Amino acid sequence: MTTSLDFPHTAEQPPTAQAIVRTQARIRRNRAVQRVWLGLVLVAIFALVLVGGATRLTDSGLSITEWKPIHGVIPPLSEAEWQEELELYRQIPEYQLINKGMSLDEFKVIYWWEWAHRFLARGVGVLFAVPLLVFWVTGRIEKRLRWPLVGLFFLGGLQGAVGWWMVASGLVDRVDVSQYRLATHLTLACLIFAAIVWVMRGLAPHSSDPVPSFGFRRGAGALSLLILVQIYLGALVAGLDAGLASSTWPLMNGAIVPEGLMAISPAWRNIFENELTVQFVHRMAGYLLFALAAWHMVAGIMRGRGSTHCRRAVVLFVLVTIQAMIGIITIVTQVPFGWALAHQGWAVVVLGFAVAHWRGFYGAYPLQTEIQVRN
């Protein structure tokens, strides 16, 4: 069977140069379409992260107390259905201890945030799965990409399960979700986002500029991983409302190292459960990230001035600097909705560019991967 990625030939009759050119042209066209598809998926995931952040900031995440992957796409359509949803919410600790007496209109506000988040998550799944199936059946997916893309699809399914696992943590003994599970949920979403950027970048043409050094490329990878870790730490801050533990900068509560960082025993729990410590660690990781991004930019200027790699390093430093400024404003203004959401959204932008920058050192996927050229 001949597909868009191969052509008939035998050992006695090797493919001609003209056949190879035609096949490579088809591969390029397929890749262009797939870049658009993956780009749309990235936009949808970005929107999903923003709505998820808004859901957390408005304390809306526990408003839907059941997991209905299929039926749940339809919101309440009658007054009776709305009352049923509110009655389910009244059974959990968040309502009984924090929102007791909430009216139906007030409940609808938090319900719609959570419903929108779940609806977008389902939409991302469809947006990824349907084109993938079409491309696969029509032979437009290169062999090297098939299983990575399938793996991403299953990671998306796992993300849905992790989302419910997170919500379930707040339905019985807590008035909010576990910060551990919230951080896992956001980090996995960003990991999926980063993986799609990696694949999408590999389908795009690359600059022929030489890599300044192995260390420079390794630094790009280290920055990408540190940004992902910083997002995890930021999710812990969000999960604990730790942004309110100290609202001053550059000092924290009047000190470089504030008192109370190790107030919980055993000591390791402070990193995850002590609001002041969680914010302190997030700040320190931010300073480290800023310093490494600056060093990476200087190294690029010194070793590869004028190259595409150097220009990307400069842009990455600018993006990191903007993120640091947004973070400072968020803290000193006591975490207002707009700035907090901007901080989370810009973190995803920084991660995406960092991964694209890192991927840029490895070149595009070879066009002749599935073409056997015989002399």
Give a yes or no: residue 10 inside a domain: no
pLDDT of residue 11: 52
C-alpha span between 151 and 86 (Å, rounded)? 38
* Residue 30 sits in the same domain as residue 167: yes
* Residue 343 sits in the same domain as residue 294: yes
Nearest in space to 218 (alpha carbons), one of 295, 144, 285 = 295
pLDDT of residue 257: 96
* Residue 190 sits in the same domain as residue 215: no
C-alpha span between 192 and 45 (Å, rounded)? 9
* Residue 181 sits in the same domain as residue 242: no
pLDDT less than 70: residues of the chain = 1-15, 368-375
Domain termination residue (choose one: 147, 172, 206): 206
* Residue 201 sits in the same domain as residue 212: no
Domain termination residue (choose one: 206, 228, 249): 206
**Contact between residue 173 and residue 93 where contact means Cβ atoms under 8 Å apart:** yes
Bridge partner residues of 255 (DSSP): 252
From residue 198, give the alpha-carbon distance in Å to each of 208, 228, 327, 353: 18, 14, 26, 10
pLDDT of residue 13: 63
* Residue 121 sits in the same domain as residue 256: no
* Torsion sign over Cα 138, 140, 144, 149: negative
Give a yes or no: residue 2 inside a domain: no
Domain containing residue 293: 207-359
Cα-trace Rg, the chain: 24
Burial label for 313, CB within 10 Å (0-12, 13-18, 19+), is buried
Give a yes or no: residue 278 inside a domain: yes
* Residue 57 sits in the same domain as residue 192: yes
C-alpha span between 277 and 253 (Å, rounded)? 12
Q: How many structural domains are present in the chain?
A: 2
pLDDT of residue 283: 98
* Residue 191 sits in the same domain as residue 43: yes
Give a yes or no: residue 271 inside a domain: yes
pLDDT of residue 2: 42
pLDDT of residue 207: 85
C-alpha span between 375 and 368 (Å, rounded)? 15
* Residue 158 sits in the same domain as residue 259: no
C-alpha span between 152 and 170 (Å, rounded)? 28
Give a yes or no: residue 374 inside a domain: no
Domain termination residue (choose one: 153, 186, 206): 206
User: Which pTM was predicted?
Assistant: 0.92
DSSP string computed for 249-279: SSSBTTBSS-TTTT-SSSGGGHHHH-HHHHH
Nearest in space to 192 (alpha carbons), one of 353, 41, 312, 357 = 41
Model confidence pLDDT, tens digit, residues 99-122: 999 999 999 999 999 999 999 999
**Contact between residue 368 and residue 20 where contact means Cβ atoms under 8 Å apart:** yes
pLDDT of residue 1: 41
* Residue 259 sits in the same domain as residue 197: no
C-alpha span between 329 and 243 (Å, rounded)? 11
Phi, psi of 201, rounded to the nearest 5 degrees: -65, -35
C-alpha span between 333 and 248 (Å, rounded)? 9
* Residue 213 sits in the same domain as residue 192: no
Q: Which two tokens stand for residue 364?
A: 């595009």
Write the single-letter amino acid at 84.
E
* Residue 152 sits in the same domain as residue 33: yes
